[in-house]
Amino acid sequence: MAPPNDTSGMEFEVFLSFRGPDTRDNFTSCLYHNMVEKGIRVFRDDEELRVSEQIGGNLLRALDDTQIYIPIFSKGFASSIWCLREVAHMVDCTSKSNGKKEILPLFFDVKSDDVKLRTELYSNALSEHEKKYGLDEVKRWKAALREVATGLGWKREGKESLPNHLVEVDDQRVIEELLDAHSDGVCFVIIHGTGGIGKSTLAKVIFNRFLSKFNYSSFLEDVQHHGLLEVQKKLLSDILGSSSNDGIHDTNDGINRIRRGLSNKRVLVVIDNVDEKRQLETLAGSCDWFGSGSRIMVTVRDIRIVLNEDKQTRPSNYLAHPVNEMPLDRAILLFNRHAFRSDTPPKNCYNFSKEVVSSIGRLPLTLEVVGSLFARTNKSEWHETLKDLKQVPPSDVKKSLMLSINKLDAKEKAIFLDIACFCIKEDKTYADNMWHSSGYSPRSAIDVLLLMSLIKIDEHNSFWMHDEVRDLGRYIVMAENFEDAEKRRWVRIDENTQVIMRSKEVKFI
């Protein structure tokens, strides 16, 4: 379903040009899927799939019928004649478009001077091309590279990645006031609330905003699903460097190293998704583990986890903030951004948006997933879908999410369950190999899951799911046979099922 405010009239909104071996399986894949998730129509070319040596057919039509070109300049970009030809054609199309087309270059581990041919990186590659393609052709490529590199480009940055379609909430302002980055002392801010209410997103937004105020920082994501020693090592590596992990064999070693190494450092740390007191005791046991001015944010569902043994709150420098449901107007705005890819719904749809939000509640996760469901549903089916939603109590997040999962076809659901059980935080490339070896071509299914907001692909090209969605997927698998795990089509790999993996062949579906 194209965004309702689209007026370009062009087949594609974005054309990605890149050299496959450099970026296909990491940065470009992540960028492509993030754009698809936003509802952007993207043409993703791969020069290694080209057969002839001339631009033509579908590729020529895509170049001619695209509004924005994004060449991803990598170290090997200039070695590909296809990449060079595409850039030259982009320049031609843009110059004839009367301002309707633009080129937005992205520099991936190269500098603009490399692309402007002021260094040997691209210059040497083009000199080699002259021997086969002639001076005139290569001269045209050089001119195109210089022109594109002179424009405004993008470079990679190292902040925490944030969800699409963010809506600002009052909680952000309150938490930032609690942190008070300019005051002395060590401050813990405990962000607590029900699953799906947006605690981790809030922490990421604030972490990114405060990052520049600290020389040392670490974001420890979803700690309940990682080994404590692993998370300790990440904290030390982020702040002191990877060599700081040498000689750490257990969590007691980790505690001692954190206390010795960080007690004189002013740090910004987020400990995300804590569900056991032991996790906090092992990563940030007390204020004297960190230098004066340090700020520690902790996200947790149950505030009792951070209380003292007598169930009383900790000292005054432990500040708690409960995250509540979004106000109605902002909840409607968030729903509209996912359902209609716009802040403003189509004509005569505001009351419909309000009715949906009133039916499903105002948790950001539910608004995102259900909104994305409507984006993929024909308008003629909207009222039937709303009728189904009204049968579910607003507080029952899982049943609302289940409506979206039930809209998947068999292949999409199979891949969704594979990701939930096996692939969280796994590189997408490895998962692709698994599916291809089983006879699946996963691309279209993954695109659907992204559009439905059931999965994400992070900046490391790895799969991510909100824990509520992940747990629901695993419950679906478990429900296939409660009594005998070996009879399920999927067997989640954990300590309780390793024996099954060793005793019987497990087939990936």
Are 313 and 456 part of one and the same domain?
A: no
| Residue 185 per-residue DSSP state | S
Confidence at residue 46, expressed as pLDDT on a 0 to 100 scale: 57
Chain center to CA of 170: 24
For the chain, give the mean pLDDT.
Answer: 82
Among the ranges given (192-201, 232-241, 370-379, 452-461), the one the predictor scored with the smallest mean pLDDT: 452-461
**DSSP character string of 11-51:** SEEEEEE--HHHHIIIIIHHHHHHHHHTT--EEE--GGG--
Domain boundary among 307, 322, 337: 322
Are 126 and 183 part of one and the same domain?
A: no
Are 443 and 333 part of one and the same domain?
A: no
Average of per-residue pLDDT across 335-363: 89
Confidence at residue 374, expressed as pLDDT on a 0 to 100 scale: 92
For the chain, the domain total comes to 4
Q: State the residue range of the domain holding 191.
A: 170-322
Examine residue 393 and state whether it is found in any structural domain, yes or no: yes
What span, in angstroms and rounded, lies between the C-alpha atoms of 331 and 354? Answer: 9
**Of 37, 47, 86, 468, catalytic:** 86
Are 314 and 347 part of one and the same domain?
A: no
Structure tokens, 501: 């993996």
Tell me the one-letter amino acid at 392.
V
What CATH number corresponds to the domain at position 88? 3.40.50.10140
What CATH number corresponds to the domain at position 484? 1.10.10
- pLDDT tens for residues 102-143? 899 998 888 888 898 988 899 999 999 998 888 999 999 999
Are 391 and 487 part of one and the same domain?
A: no
Domain boundary among 366, 389, 405: 405
Structure tokens, 331: 């909840």
Say whether 325 is catalytic.
Answer: no
Are 117 and 101 part of one and the same domain?
A: yes
Are 486 and 375 part of one and the same domain?
A: no
Examine residue 7 and state whether it is found in any structural domain, yes or no: no
Beta bridge partners of 42: 14
Confidence at residue 382, expressed as pLDDT on a 0 to 100 scale: 92
Examine residue 209 and state whether it is found in any structural domain, yes or no: yes
Average of per-residue pLDDT across 333-341: 89
Confidence at residue 497, expressed as pLDDT on a 0 to 100 scale: 36
Examine residue 336 and state whether it is found in any structural domain, yes or no: yes
Q: Name the nearest CA neighbour of 226 among 25, 425, 446, 413.
A: 425
Examine residue 110 and state whether it is found in any structural domain, yes or no: yes
Q: Work out the pLDDT band at 253, boundaries 50, 70, 90.
A: very high
- pLDDT tens for residues 187-200? 999 999 988 898 99
**DSSP character string of 115-177:** HTT-SHHHHHHHHHHHHHH-HHHHHHHHHHHHHHHHS--EE---SPP--SS----HHHHHHHH
Confidence at residue 164, expressed as pLDDT on a 0 to 100 scale: 58
Are 22 and 139 part of one and the same domain?
A: yes
Between 350 and 183, the more confident residue is: 350
Average of per-residue pLDDT across 148-176: 69
Average of per-residue pLDDT across 395-421: 89
pTM of the model as a whole? 0.63
Confidence at residue 507, expressed as pLDDT on a 0 to 100 scale: 39
Are 24 and 147 part of one and the same domain?
A: yes
Examine residue 185 and state whether it is found in any structural domain, yes or no: yes
Instruction: Please say if the pLDDT value at position 490 is more than 70.
Output: no
Are 177 and 295 part of one and the same domain?
A: yes
Are 131 and 19 part of one and the same domain?
A: yes
Asked whether 341 and 39 are in contact (CB, 8 A), the reply is yes
Average of per-residue pLDDT across 317-334: 89
Instruction: Please say if the pLDDT value at position 256 is more than 70.
Output: yes
Examine residue 130 and state whether it is found in any structural domain, yes or no: yes
Instruction: Please say if the pLDDT value at position 496 is more than 80.
Output: no
What span, in angstroms and rounded, lies between the C-alpha atoms of 254 and 269? Answer: 16
Are 293 and 392 part of one and the same domain?
A: no
Among the ranges given (169-173, 287-291, 371-375, 400-404), the one the predictor scored with the smallest mean pLDDT: 169-173
| Residue 105: count of CB within 10 angstroms of its CB | 23
Asked whether 28 and 16 are in contact (CB, 8 A), the reply is yes
What CATH number corresponds to the domain at position 231? 3.40.50.300
What span, in angstroms and rounded, lies between the C-alpha atoms of 338 and 369? Answer: 8
Examine residue 175 and state whether it is found in any structural domain, yes or no: yes
Domain boundary among 354, 377, 405: 405
